[in-house]
Structure 1
Amino acid sequence: MCVLILQISLDTMAATQKCYAKGSCAPGPVPEGHLRIYSMRFCPFAQRTRLVLQAKGINFETVNIDLKEKPEWYLEKNPQGLVPTLELPNGKVIYESPITCEYLDEVYPGKKLMSSDPFEKAQQKMLLEDFSKIVPLFYRIPGTKSKGEDISALETELKEKLSKLNKVLVNKKTKYFGGDSVSMIDYLIWPWFERVEAWQLKQYLDGTAELKNWTLRMQEDPTVKAIMFKPEDHKVFFDSFMAGKPNYDYGL
């Protein structure tokens, strides 16, 4: 038996709904002329895909998933149970954030977010691979600190990796990682920097002037501004997440 949850067809500017959890009914077919993204409001990985959907002006609806009590029907769509997942009008699904983002840029018209130059595209994918090694530190430092354990080695590692990221901008002499305008690589990196203040990691940006300037520019990007949360909202969710009781529906 499933519990019916009201699902409203959303466009790119609409607010999301409360999470679907275990025991809920699956939503109906994807509305004509739309995509559906299975997401979680505070998930940085899902935010990547929502940024690309927003930037390209794609019509979509959002179905948020309770990642602690996942609906049975969602695991049939994505056996990994992670977000984001894209569902197409024909019922086919695509998941993993970089893959969904690249698909959207290749299939949908409008501003191209990925470079058409094969070498530049490869450079950005290499940069994303390097950044993927930074992401775990954003979680490990607060988690280790909350246990009262020594975080000095983790702090040193994070500072070194952020310094290397800063050097990329210094060497490129551009405003953004992909050039002088926001591109795919910027949207793929941004979500964790939106959270540095809430996760008490902002001090690790000291000494990375170009990276700091990049964060300030990204905060003014219309796409980022359209879907970003305030630091205090991120903090409330992150605190609940760290306590083992994530409040996915905070603020709704």
Structure 2
Amino acid sequence: MSTEKCFAKGSAAPGPVPNGYIRLYSMRFCPFAQRTRLVLSAKGIKHDTININLKDKPDWFLERNPLGLVPTLETPAGEVIYESPITCDYLDEVYPEKKLLPSSPFGKAQQKMMLELFSKITPYFYKIPMGRKNGQDVSELEAELKEKLSKLNEDLVNKKTKYFGGDSITMIDYMMWPWFERLEVFELKHCLDSTPELKKWTERMLDDAAVKATMHSVDNYKAFYKTYVEGKPNYDYGL
């Protein structure tokens, strides 16, 4: 995990990407960037990490990615790749050792369809805590989230596998994991009470080396999200 402080507007641009490495532009607490960090770690890819202040982005970063989003990858040849699923697919293709995506076109399509479904779930992890903070009744949103999580549970039951792509971790597990890692932070852990297989999946994921290498403590997450919600995100919290 990178312990580098974030680069903000006015900071000097980093030097060229070293040969034999790939560069990740990231933010330490971003779940989308964590997807890419998980893949880099799982595949043992040599990389350096530049953390970006997402509230006050350096101009040189916006030249690389006009959307100003993390994760963004940069190669020694100056090629730039962004959007978390795209960066992860790229890494799996360019570094073929320990493939995370299935080899069959249908297997790949299944994982992408599942990811598409999961993208409809992630907004709940933000809507519910924000609604709660604003004094809204979030019981209906929680019921919807529980229903969506029960479908993921059903998927594991039907497949009779330990993970979503089989009995070992594949890309889809890493793509979904960052939001489950934050369940306790968002005070949503109880939403797994009726999903025993999904709960077992989260426990198995916690034993994974890449997950261990990229995670923060609940206290660190909570402290960061407090600064985020207050509108003054401390991207360097804990350094």
Q: Same fold (TM over 0.5)?
A: yes
CA contact (8 A) 1:199 1:238 kept: no
The structure 1 segments of at least 4 consecutive aligned residues displaced by more than 3 Å after TM superposition are: none
Alignment of 1:1-252 (within 5 A): 15-252=2-239
CA contact (8 A) 1:78 1:95 kept: yes
Q: Percent identity?
A: 68
SS in structure 2 at match of 1:135: coil
Range moving further from structure 2, 35-44 or 145-154: 145-154
SS in structure 2 at match of 1:94: strand
Deviations 1:146-197 (A, max 9, x none): 0001112211111111111111111111000010001100000000111101
SS in structure 2 at match of 1:134: coil
RMSD: 0.9
Deviations 1:194-231 (A, max 9, x none): 11011111011110001000000000001111121111
Q: Which residue type is aligned with residue 201 of structure 1? A: L
Q: Give 1:28 shift.
A: 1.0
* Cα distance in 2 between the residues matched to 1:139 and 1:67: 18
CA contact (8 A) 2:2 2:28 kept: no
Deviations 1:43-101 (A, max 9, x none): 00000001101111110000000001111111111111110000000111000000000
Q: Give 1:15 shift.
A: 3.2
* Cα distance in 2 between the residues matched to 1:209 and 1:244: 36
* Cα distance in 1 between the residues matched to 2:186 and 2:220: 11
Count of residue pairs brought into register by the alignment:
239
Structure 1 unaligned regions, length at least 5? 1-13
* Cα distance in 1 between the residues matched to 2:137 and 2:230: 19
* Cα distance in 1 between the residues matched to 2:13 and 2:97: 32
CA contact (8 A) 2:4 2:51 kept: yes
* Cα distance in 2 between the residues matched to 1:169 and 1:151: 27
TM-score normalised by L of structure 1: 0.93
CA contact (8 A) 2:40 2:91 kept: yes
Q: Tell me the equivalent position of 1:10.
A: none
CA contact (8 A) 1:16 1:63 kept: no
Q: Which has the bigger relative contact order, CA under 8 A and spacing at least 6?
A: 2
* Cα distance in 2 between the residues matched to 1:138 and 1:148: 16
* Cα distance in 1 between the residues matched to 2:64 and 2:133: 35
SS in structure 2 at match of 1:63: strand
Q: Give 1:109 shift.
A: 2.9
Q: Give 1:243 shift.
A: 1.3
Q: Which residue type is aligned with residue 228 of structure 1? A: M
Structure 2 unaligned regions, length at least 5? none
Range moving further from structure 2, 136-145 or 237-246: 237-246
Q: Which residue type is aligned with residue 165 of structure 1? A: L
SS in structure 1 at match of 2:123: helix
* Cα distance in 2 between the residues matched to 1:244 and 1:166: 35
CA contact (8 A) 2:124 2:145 kept: yes
